[in-house]
């Protein structure tokens, strides 16, 4: 008889985690399943809309820590910096004063740095 087991780790550690099952029979004999490893990255991801943009961008960040958002030009200069607290799903930033072109949006949190390109029209 085949059984299916499901387990959800609600608080996995950042990085590589190892899991296995211990099956115990009614006569107290047991055996272990093969070890399975899963890698959990804790870096905050960001989604920018609209992209391309003309007057504002809205950032949606996943993660539970505060982030600092930077808009950086192609020369590496930080043009705008703003902070956002955890629990706020979207952050709006005006980009109307920026020249048309390609920019990098950098989200910095306690768990890592994520970058994404945005086109300003």
Domains of the chain: 46-120 (2.60.40.3080)
- Per-residue pLDDT for 109 more than 70? yes
Q: Where residue 27 falls among pLDDT bands split at 50, 70, 90? A: very high
- Per-residue pLDDT for 22 more than 60? yes
Residue 77: its pLDDT value, please?
A: 92
Residue 7: its pLDDT value, please?
A: 73
Q: How far apart are CA 107 and CA 66, in angstroms?
A: 10
Summarised one tens digit per residue, pLDDT across range 58-94 is 887 766 667 888 889 989 999 988 877 665 656 777 8
Q: Which token pair is 121?
A: 């029209």
Q: Which token pair is 94?
A: 């005006």
Residue 11: its pLDDT value, please?
A: 66
Please write down the HEC assignment for all residues of 1-50: CCCCCCCCCCCCCCEEEEECCEEECCCCCEEECCCEEEEECCCCCEEEEC
Residue 82: its pLDDT value, please?
A: 81
Q: How far apart are CA 15 and CA 5, in angstroms?
A: 23
């Amino acid at each position: 008889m085949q059984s299916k087991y499901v387990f959800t780790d609600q608080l996995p550690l950042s990085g590589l985690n190892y899991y296995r099952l211990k099956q115990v029979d009614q006569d107290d004999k047991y055996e272990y399943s093969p070890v399975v490893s899963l890698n959990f990255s804790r870096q905050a991801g960001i989604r920018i809309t609209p992209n391309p943009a003309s007057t504002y961008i809205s950032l949606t960040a996943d993660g539970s820590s505060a982030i600092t958002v930077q808009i950086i030009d192609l020369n590496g200069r930080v043009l705008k910096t703003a902070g956002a607290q955890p629990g706020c799903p979207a952050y709006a930033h005006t980009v109307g004063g920026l020249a048309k072109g390609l920019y990098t949006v950098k989200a910095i949190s306690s768990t890592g740095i994520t970058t994404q390109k945005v086109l300003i029209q």
